[in-house]
Structure 1
Amino acid sequence: MSPLDVQQLRDSTPGCQSGIVHFNHAGASLPSQATLDAIIDQLHREARDGPMEAGEHGAVLVEKARRAAAQLLNAPAASIAFASSGSTAWSLAFQALGPWQPGDRILVGRHEWGGNLASMDLAVQAGARVEVIPCDASGAVCPLALESMIDAHVKLIDLTWLPANGGLINPAEAIGAVARRHGIAYFIDAGQAVGQVPVDVQALQCDVLKSAGRKHLRGPRGTALLYVRPDFLPRLNPAQRDVFSAPWSADGFDLRNDARRFETSEVSFALLAGLGNALQEMNRLGLEQVWERIAHTSERIRQALRQMPGISLHDLGTAQSGLIAFNLDGWDAFELKRRLALKRINIGANGVAYTPLDMQARGLASIARISVSPLNNDDDVAQLMTALQALRD
């Protein structure tokens, strides 16, 4: 992306005009004015015509969003469902994979998102075991180690692709190749990947993939997308059903034969209108050039942090994302986040609960996190480094 491209992106984003430097895109990014307009337009339509009466137009917008999500992931539109959060989407798919039996094995990366681990607790109560796939020398999930763990009792392989607590990019395609070779269900938590790196579900060979709308996609909070491989759909039996996901017929209530079996009749058309616009904007930008910009900016930040005394970087892996985990000597990560916010600079901070297996394995109580977007420019980087230097002194 050229400087002009970046400036045009910033000019269309109200948050970039506020004087706040935003480096918390992995928590929630900044929506464009067009995304806000799409939300507000649907709300106005509901207020004017009646909320239920405006639903017909809202349903058209939802299908546009579905097609845009499918284009972004290289998937058929029928394989996309929407949910209220990434955690909800993942949990719905996981619970639908049951029932769990004593002896069932669930293999996860050490960097697994804490919310996913919490959802697995019901399976553990039923007698299933959650086991951690060893890491390679770089700290990434090791496909060779995974291969050695496979037996007839493995029911699920689950991978958090880009973990929340740092810049690691796990080898999702290589893990997918192992899962497909052995015919084992493969779920990907792509909450930090979609909108940041190119995502092709065909190349990943995953059965389920989820992502939040509010992160790198720059959509509204309260939205998420769920991909389910069409051939895998019959294996998923959702417990949550209503007249939309399981329409009535003369023979009873039948689950839909597409990913909409995970949706319900009550949704926010306004929020999904906003998500649809954000997805269309991302498709127009192109994830390849988005990722190129993020990689360039995040590497500049990492280089500057390496040269600053008192900074410790906590990223893993050989290829790294736009999430930068660090600590500053003498500072609690959450207090550092608060002090930077007083200077009108937003970053993130994570405790053990976000990625408990990895944080405990590395002896980390918390990390501060910078997360980069194409919206960030050279002035943003300079302000961040000046503020960190001032706090260090």
Structure 2
Amino acid sequence: MHPDRLRAETPGTDHVLHFNNAGAALPPQPVLDAQITYLEREATIGGYEAAAEAEGQLHRTYESIARMLGCDTDEVALVENATRAWDMAFYGLPFDSGDRILTSASAYASNHIACLQVAERTGATVDVLPHDEHGRVDTGALRSRMDDDVALIALTHVPTNGGLVNPAQEVGAVADDADVPFLLDACQSAGQMPLPVDELGCTMLSATGRKYLRGPRGTGFLYVQDDWIERIEPPLLDLHAATWTAPDAYEIHPDARRFENWESHVAGQVALGVAVDYALDQGLDAIFDRNRHLARTLRTGLADVAGVTVHDQGDVRCGITTFSAEQKDASTIQAGLRERDVNTAVSPPSSTRLDAEARALPELVRASVHYYNTEAEVDRFVGALRSVLRA
């Protein structure tokens, strides 16, 4: 990797120290150019006309995502965000009374709320799997709980807090052995590490563009394995997802386009394809190595700051680091860092309630690095934190 070149292509690095990449990463110039160019074209010739003109670019976005995942373009849907992608798959599954949904304590709030809602509606139950000694979902416990009532395994690949990378490939192997659908939330792993869906064994995968892929906000995508597409009926349909074939009949799209809708953020989708290509050009293995190196350096620096506790888990960790401090609460620390042009996020217990309550976690500061960050920025971050805690 060449940090100087990467930073030269990332205008935001001239203005902020950005350690909020798990929230929304700074986009590179080619992504900005693609989005702005499309918007200018839309303003010049009209929205419908610009979309028709960009049909080839949109097709390349499908191709780029398919190349990243190792799947076919017909297995990819472009949607507004990761939550909508996850919902379109989850709510399309035919749950019934007695069905069991297996999930983990590190599940993200939006996903777990959806599980609870479906359980209330259908009589299904939500079974939370225990963690192993590293904080990962316990795959041994998962295998022991598999039976004919299990209707879905839902896993958050990289939780919103704690640096953990869950063993998606091991979970996928269990799901495959039992012929049970496996829904992987890759919201914070897409763009940060390789995601070969055949190796991961996931039936469905949801992700966003704005985080580690460095794409625009308001973009996301859903992968659904080919032989499962027609077994999942989308909870919402329109004239894009289906065709009105007779006054009292319609046909749902046979491919993953059934999970899309007609109105979309075309400028964002064009730029998303550019963002995916940019990540692939850097190499997802190289990005993951770089992120883990920077995060390890950050955790080492934080360990030397009096009163600070790092709360990360996992034998494999990513670019997310979460911590608390005895001196000040997380929101105060975040605000103090922002005054010093340092961006972080706050991870409240409500975002991962099961994990937070099990570990008695307070509100956490989340500092998430990415490959365009530098070791010098890590040092600057630790210095800024010391200043905030002394103030």
TM-score (norm: length of structure 1):
0.96
- Counterpart residue identity of residue 265, structure 2: S
CA contact (8 A) 2:324 2:362 kept: no
2:339 maps to which of 339, 342, 365: 342
Q: 2:233 aligns with which of 233, 237, 245?
A: 237
Alignment counterpart, residue 262 of structure 1, candidates 259, 262, 265: 259
Once residues 280 and 391 of structure 1 are traced to their aligned partners in structure 2, the CA distance between those partners, rounded to angstroms, is 38
Q: Secondary structure at the match of 1:266?
A: coil
Kept in 2: contact 1:96–1:239 (CA 8 A)? yes
Deviations 1:136-155 (A, max 9, x none): 11111011000111111110
Q: CA deviation at 1:377?
A: 0.9
| Offset at residue 389 of structure 1 (A) | 1.7
Counterpart among 159, 162, 167 of residue 158 in structure 2: 162
SS of residue paired to 1:155: strand
**1:311 aligns with one of 308, 311, 317:** 308
Q: Distance in 1 between matches of 2:362 and 2:98?
A: 33
The Cα offsets for residues 290-325 of structure 1, whole Å up to 9 and x where unpaired, read as: 111111111111111122221111111111111001
How many residues are matched? Answer: 388
- Identify the residue that residue 75 of structure 1 maps to in structure 2: 71
Residue equivalent to 1:108? 103
Whole-angstrom CA distance in 2 between matches of 1:253 and 1:244:
12
Aligned-partner Cα distance in 1 for 2:54–2:162: 37
Aligned residue type for 1:50: G
Give yes or no for contact 1:59–1:269 (8 Å, CA) kept in 2: no
SS in 2 for 1:305: helix
Residue of structure 2 aligned with 1:291, choices 288, 292, 295:
288
Provide the rounded CA distance (Å) in 2 between the counterparts of 1:128 and 1:151.
14
Secondary structure at 1:209 match in 2:
strand
Verify the 8 A CA contact 2:344 2:368 in the aligned structure 1.
Answer: yes
Segment of structure 1 superposing worse, 238-247 or 88-97: 238-247
User: 2:134 and 2:40 mapped to 1: Cα distance?
Assistant: 52
Paired residues of 1:58 and 1:270 also in contact (CA < 8 A): no
SS at match of 1:355: helix
Q: CA RMSD in A?
A: 1.2
Give the Cα separation in 1 of the matches to 2:251 and 2:54: 24
- Report whether the alignment pairs 1:118 with 2:113: yes
Give the 3-state SS of the residue equivalent to 1:198 in structure 2.
Answer: coil
Q: Deviations over 1:199-219 (max 9, x none)?
A: 110100100101110000000
- Aligned-partner SS, 1:298: helix
Corresponding residue SS for 1:254: strand
What is the DSSP-based 3-state SS (H/G/I as helix, E as strand, rest coil) of the residue aligned with 1:341?
helix
2:361 and 2:354 map into 1 onto residues whose CA distance is: 10
1:392 CA drift (Å): 3.2
Task: Give the corresponding residue for 1:51.
Answer: 47
Tell me the equivalent position of 1:128: 124
Matches for 1:1-393 after TM superposition, within 5 Å: 1=1, 5-18=2-15, 20-98=16-94, 100-125=95-120, 126-249=122-245, 252-393=249-390
**After the TM superposition, which parts of structure 1 deviate over 3 Å for at least 4 consecutive aligned residues?**
248-252
- Percent identity, please: 36
Could you tell me whether the CA contact under 8 Å between 2:334 and 2:346 is conserved in 1?
yes
- Unaligned runs of 5+ residues in structure 2 are none
CA distance in structure 2 between the partners assigned to 1:370 and 1:215 by the alignment: 13
TM-score normalised by length of structure 2: 0.97
Report deviation, 1:76: 1.0
Question: Does the 8 A contact of 2:301 with 2:379 survive in 1?
Answer: no
CA contact (8 A) 1:39 1:271 kept: yes
Tell me the SS of whatever aligns to 1:240.
coil
Q: Distance between the aligned counterparts of 1:263 and 1:64, measured in 2? A: 17
CA–CA separation in structure 1 for the residues paired with 2:339 and 2:194:
34
What is the distance in 1 between the residues matched to 2:32 and 2:351?
Answer: 29
1:207-242 deviation per Cα after TM superposition (whole angstroms, max 9, x unaligned): 010111000000000000111011111210012111
CA distance in 1, matches of 2:291, 2:59: 30
Aligned partner of 1:273: which letter?
A: V
Separation of aligned partners in 2, 1:90 and 1:134: 23
The secondary structure found in structure 1 opposite 2:297 is helix
Given that 1:89 and 1:224 are in contact with CA atoms closer than 8 Å, whether structure 2 keeps it comes out as: yes
Q: 1:122 Cα shift? A: 2.8
Indicate the SS of the match to 1:312.
strand
